[in-house]
Amino acid sequence: MVQPVFLVLYSLFYIHYSSALKQPTANKGKLHKVLSLAFGLSVSFAGIIGLGIFRTPGEVAEKIGNPTVFILLWIAGAVYAMIGVFSVAELGAMIPRSGGPYCFARRSMGPLPAFIIGWGDYLSWSAGDAAFLIILSEYLLLLFPSMGTWAKIIPLLFTCLFALLQWQGVLWGARLQKIAALVKAVFMLALIIIFFTVNPRHPELVNYTLSSAPVTFSAIMIALQSIIYTYDGWHYPTYFSEEISNPAKLPKAMIRGVLIVSVTYLILFFAMMHIMPVASMAGEKLVIGKVAQIVLGDAAGKLVNLIVIIFIISSMNLDYMIGSRILYAISSDKLGVNKAATVNKGGTPNIALFITWASIVFFTVTGSFDFLISVLSIIFVFTYSMLFLSVILLRKKEPELHRPYKAWGYPYTTIFSFIASITFLGAVVKGDPKNSLYALLLMMFCVPVYFLLKAINKS
């Protein structure tokens, strides 16, 4: 039943969008410079706080049961994210183009490396959003077991709704993003207050007999890798550099976002440790859910499921905005779908938005995103490394270029981030050699595709 419904919805959306595919838009190739610093802050804050904060604490506690080391590692993750911001913010302020890593790689390394990075980045966002839809379906069934097939249909309806709202213009997407950030902030604050103030209803659920795992260098590195992934999202505002009214202030939004999230995470951990020792968190898939169950009782499961659902839905808006900007940037350089380099009257890259929506629906219906995510996650780590390399290369290639913001502590902070990202990339390759090989093959496949596209566009 689900596939026919998806096909009907797909057909309806195609009819809605087809007129735009056939007609030229009023502002071809020109995004609107209307986004504020508050938007950049909302992207940084809401982009970092995702499902990782629900799952990662249990994984880290399994490796590091010592509460002091546990907190210190989360602080180290925050410091790493902040050092990364110091470097990449220079690129966002210096190169005011929407599209993120692709645009920086294009300027620093040339079109071919940028083509590989850009398409890998775009596909990872599309496949990732499809995965979010499947997770949303699972949590809807947990919250409403009688929902049945509708649990698979409703996520697609939400993704269609966000696509339609963004079609109206960039300011619609910006408003939705600010609301998403506010919703996440309210829920995080509510959890902190509840954990600190409400007396536990079921203290017997806490296992005080578990001993802390021994702290080893290997355990620290594995835990730190998970923590750094949980801080991922600090560079998301750079996907909108071209549309920020004053891109010189973009670094300020990124730095503030990381600071706010870091403080929020640390207060949340102290609140959870107030109820449950770190050693008892080991192996828990949803530590926040477990702590909520201890404090609130049976109602906790539904509360956490509801929070996860809201977090997923609120992330869809940002995924669409970023995905369409990546495709728009690639297509503007004639390395993608040429029609995707168009912008409607509201400032939305509408054809790129339609293609992004269609690819997400395709991945969701076919279930083909699982393998793709495993491969693209490796390219994702590679892309991080290229961000830092872009800073170094541009300092060498274009030292005279105006830089409204210069990376703090350069070259030491940037080189440190680059070496650290390469180290994590090596750890990922070592841990998953099979998918690493597929990632390499995918990047190699991009080379003949790149030259084919160049030949087609030249002719």
The whole-angstrom separation of Cα 34 and Cα 40 is 12
The partner residues of 35 in beta bridges, in order of sequence, read 244
Q: Residue 145's pLDDT is what?
A: 85
Tell me whether residue 133 is in a domain. yes
- Nearest residue to 89 via CA among 309, 238, 221, 265: 238
Tell me whether residue 23 is in a domain. no
Tell me whether residue 213 is in a domain. yes
The whole-angstrom separation of Cα 236 and Cα 252 is 13
Tell me whether residue 17 is in a domain. no
Q: Residue 15's pLDDT is what?
A: 41
Q: What is the pLDDT of residues 223-263, one digit of tens each?
A: 888 898 899 899 999 999 999 999 999 999 999 999 999 99
Tell me whether residue 404 is in a domain. no
Tell me whether residue 15 is in a domain. no
The single-letter DSSP state of residue 408 is T
pTM here? 0.88
Sites in the chain below the pLDDT cut of 70: 1-29, 202-213, 368-370, 459
The single-letter DSSP state of residue 95 is S
Specify the 3-state DSSP secondary structure of 50.
coil
Tell me whether residue 243 is in a domain. yes
Q: What is the pLDDT of residues 168-216, one digit of tens each?
A: 999 999 999 999 999 999 999 999 999 999 887 766 666 655 556 678 8
Burial of 432 (0-12, 13-18, 19+ CB in 10 A): middle
Tell me whether residue 405 is in a domain. no
Cα–Cα distances in Å, from 337 out to 156, 330, 334, 359, 442? 25, 8, 7, 13, 19
What residue has token string 């050092």?
A: 83
Specify the 3-state DSSP secondary structure of 382.
helix
Q: What is the pLDDT of residues 409-423, one digit of tens each?
A: 999 999 999 999 998
The whole-angstrom separation of Cα 45 and Cα 257 is 5
- 322 touches 239 (CB < 8 A): yes
Other C-beta atoms within 10 Å of 418: how many?
22
Domain of residue 228, CATH code: 1.20.1740.10
- 336 touches 326 (CB < 8 A): no
Cα–Cα distances in Å, from 290 out to 66, 189, 248, 299, 373? 19, 17, 43, 12, 28
Cα–Cα distances in Å, from 425 out to 75, 152, 201, 420, 432? 21, 35, 44, 9, 11
The whole-angstrom separation of Cα 382 and Cα 425 is 6
What one-letter code names the amino acid at 261? Answer: V
- Nearest residue to 238 via CA among 27, 417, 47, 51: 47
Q: b vs e for 310-321, b when ≥16 Cβ sit within 10 Å of the residue's Cβ? A: ebbbbbbbbbbb
- The residue segments making up the domain with residue 173 are 2-10+31-399+424-458
Q: Residue 12's pLDDT is what?
A: 43
The partner residues of 244 in beta bridges, in order of sequence, read 35
Total count of domains within the chain: 1
